[in-house]
Amino acid sequence: MVEEERWVSLAQKGDKEAFCQLIRAYQAPVYNLAYRMLGDPDEAEDATQETFLRAFSRLHTYDPGYKFSSWILSIASHYCLDQLRKRKGRFVSLEGIKSWRWMPDRRPQPEERFLQHEEQVAVRRILSKLPPQYRVVVILRYWYGYSYEEMARMLETSQSAIKSRLHRARKMMAKLLQVSEETQVSKESRDALPASL
Question: Could you tell me which residues come within 8 angstroms of residue 131 by beta carbon, excluding any fewer than 6 positions away?
Answer: none
Residue 119: half-sphere exposure toward Cβ, Cα within 13 Å: 6
Please state whether 8 falls in left (phi above 0), alpha (psi between -120 and 50) or beta.
Answer: alpha
32/27 Cα distance (integer angstroms): 8
Residue 74 or 166: the one with the smaller Cβ distance to another protein is 166
Binding mask 144-163 for another protein (x = CB under 8 A): ----x--------------x
Residue 57 or 194: the one with the smaller Cβ distance to another protein is 57
CB of 138 to another protein, least distance (A): 7
Question: Among 37, 40, 45, which residue's Cα sits nearest to residue 81?
Answer: 37
Given a contact cutoff of 8 angstroms between Cβ atoms, the answer to whether 38 and 47 are in contact is yes
Asked if 135 interacts with another protein (CB under 8 A), we say: no
CB of 165 to another protein, least distance (A): 10
Cα→Cα distances 134→21, 112, 149, Å? 32, 30, 16
Kindly indicate which of the ranges 50-58, 84-92, 152-160, 186-194 contains the residues binding another protein, using the contact rule CB under 8 A.
50-58
Note the residues at the interface with another protein (CB under 8 A).
16, 20, 23-24, 27-29, 31-32, 35-36, 41, 44-46, 48-50, 52-53, 56, 101-102, 116, 119-120, 122-123, 126, 138, 141-143, 148, 163, 166-167, 170-171, 173-178
